[in-house]
Structure 1
Amino acid sequence: MNLLALDTSSEGCSAALLCDDQLTSRSAVAPRGHTRLLMPMIRELLNAADLKPTELDALAFACGPGSFTGLRIATGVVQGLAYGLDIPVVPVSSLQAVAAGAIEQFDLDEGDKVAVAFDARMGEVYWGSYECRGGMPEALAPERVCAPQQIALEPGPGRWFGAGTGWRLREQFGAEVIAAIAQGDDSLLPQASQIARLASRSFAVNGGVAAARAQPVYIRDEVAWKKLPGR
């Protein structure tokens, strides 16, 4: 299987190519450089593998939650490629991708759990809880956006690990949450390499979606904007 995965959901920008079980990737941290970097990364990966775009079987991307602008960039590129190549797309959660990175980084055991947090601005965090099963993260509850004070860990046995830039707000988390975390990394970002791994497994079971259905997921359905004084 030849699968190209993209991520621009955070300040990181990355692309990965899974080709006959061989995974290669390119990445950079460039908050305002996604549009400049993404296409060259894709070309480099395809050229290095001596692979033509028409030889791709599927595409994958981090569908969110994350940066509004960043999500639109990856979505636009993936949709354009999928339409042109007439191949399916596998959307992958950005939170789940970070959980997969934490499982690899911390070398987690079966049953260990990862709590992923992103800063959602407006005094809120994106939050997802996962359990390590077969070396991959399985969701324990629906992903959500909430105030840091409202987050809670799912009950049950197993060690907890924290991951994602939202853990920089840990002083706003509840004491019980902080006390339960065995280890954490607040620098972990979504990576296309993890998107590719998750997408490959998902594609084998569920297939992908058509280009038109490859849409970003914001979680926050409605945003209440306050009018400025005098407006």
Structure 2
Amino acid sequence: MRLLAIETSTEACSVAVLVDGALSERFEVAPRRHAELVLPWAEALLSEAGLRRADLDAIAVTRGPGAFTGVRLGISIAQGIALALDRPLLPVSTLAVLAMGGLRGAPAGEFVLAAIDARMGEVYAGAFARDGEALRAVAPEAVAAPDAVALPHTGSWLGVGTGFAAEDGALVRRFGDRLATVDAAALPRAADLARLAARSLAEGGGMAPERVEPAYLRDHVALTLAEQAAARERRG
């Protein structure tokens, strides 16, 4: 299996190439430089692996949630490559990718709450459980204030993602000792995207590129200044 994975939905930018189980990745926290980095990194990784674009079996991309511009950019680039090559596109939840990274090296059977700072007093949150070498969602993904996020199961949870630093660590205070560990600096990585996408492709996943759409979770991708002020007033 030969797979190109693109992740641009947060302030980090990463690209990975998976070739028959061997992974290579470029990763950098590079706000506002995603468009500059993605294609050169992809070409460099393919060259290092001795591949051309035409040798790829599929393209993978995070579909969101995350920064609106970053999510749109990643999907647009991935769609363009997949359409040009007539290859399937594998969209994967950004929160699932984040959770996958959090579970690497963790004890078997762990639950993980992945959360990304969504600004305006909210977080994007998704709850997952380890399912063999893959993940299983145990609650719908949502955007909510930290005090509205719930853990659907008892037991020990891992916390991963910038959402745990949002609002002065409100999620950490909310769940207290239910969190075995917290990594509030973690960001999604293309290598974890590639792992999840490869499993999906092996199970028959993949979509026509033009059918892939972002998962913003918010109904409105932008708020007016008046709406932002009203939201702040509601939060007190």
Q: TM-score of the superposition, structure 2-length normalised?
A: 0.90
State how 1:19-58 maps to structure 2 within 5 Å.
19-58=19-58
Checking the alignment, whether the CA contact within 8 Å between 2:162 and 2:186 is kept in structure 1 is yes
Name which of structure 1's ranges 22-31 and 134-143 shifts more when overlaid on structure 2: 134-143
Percent of pairs with identical residues? 43
Structure-2 separation of matches of 1:75 and 1:183: 32
Alignment partner of 1:164 out of 156, 161, 164 = 161
Paired position in structure 1 for 2:231: none
State how 1:15-94 maps to structure 2 within 5 Å.
15-94=15-94
State how 1:179-218 maps to structure 2 within 5 Å.
179-218=177-216
Paired position in structure 1 for 2:149: 151
SS at match of 2:226: coil
Checking the alignment, whether the CA contact within 8 Å between 1:110 and 1:135 is kept in structure 2 is no
Checking the alignment, whether the CA contact within 8 Å between 1:151 and 1:174 is kept in structure 2 is no
Between the two proteins, the alignment pairs up a number of residues equal to 225
Matched, 1:227 2:223: no
Alignment partner of 2:106 out of 74, 91, 108 = 108
Checking the alignment, whether the CA contact within 8 Å between 1:103 and 1:135 is kept in structure 2 is no
CA drift of 1:227 comes to 3.3
Query: Where does structure 1 lack aligned partners over 5 or more consecutive residues?
Result: none
Checking the alignment, whether the CA contact within 8 Å between 1:63 and 1:71 is kept in structure 2 is yes
Checking the alignment, whether the CA contact within 8 Å between 2:95 and 2:126 is kept in structure 1 is yes
- The amino acid of 1:225's aligned partner reads T
Checking the alignment, whether the CA contact within 8 Å between 2:163 and 2:171 is kept in structure 1 is no
CA drift of 1:226 comes to 5.0
Checking the alignment, whether the CA contact within 8 Å between 1:103 and 1:136 is kept in structure 2 is no
1:175-221: CA deviation from partner (whole Å, max 9, x where unpaired):
45122101110111010000000000111113200110122110112
Checking the alignment, whether the CA contact within 8 Å between 1:8 and 1:62 is kept in structure 2 is yes
Superposition RMSD in Å: 1.6
1:48-105: CA deviation from partner (whole Å, max 9, x where unpaired):
011011111100001100011111111111111111100000001111111110111x
Checking the alignment, whether the CA contact within 8 Å between 2:98 and 2:160 is kept in structure 1 is yes
Checking the alignment, whether the CA contact within 8 Å between 1:159 and 1:181 is kept in structure 2 is yes
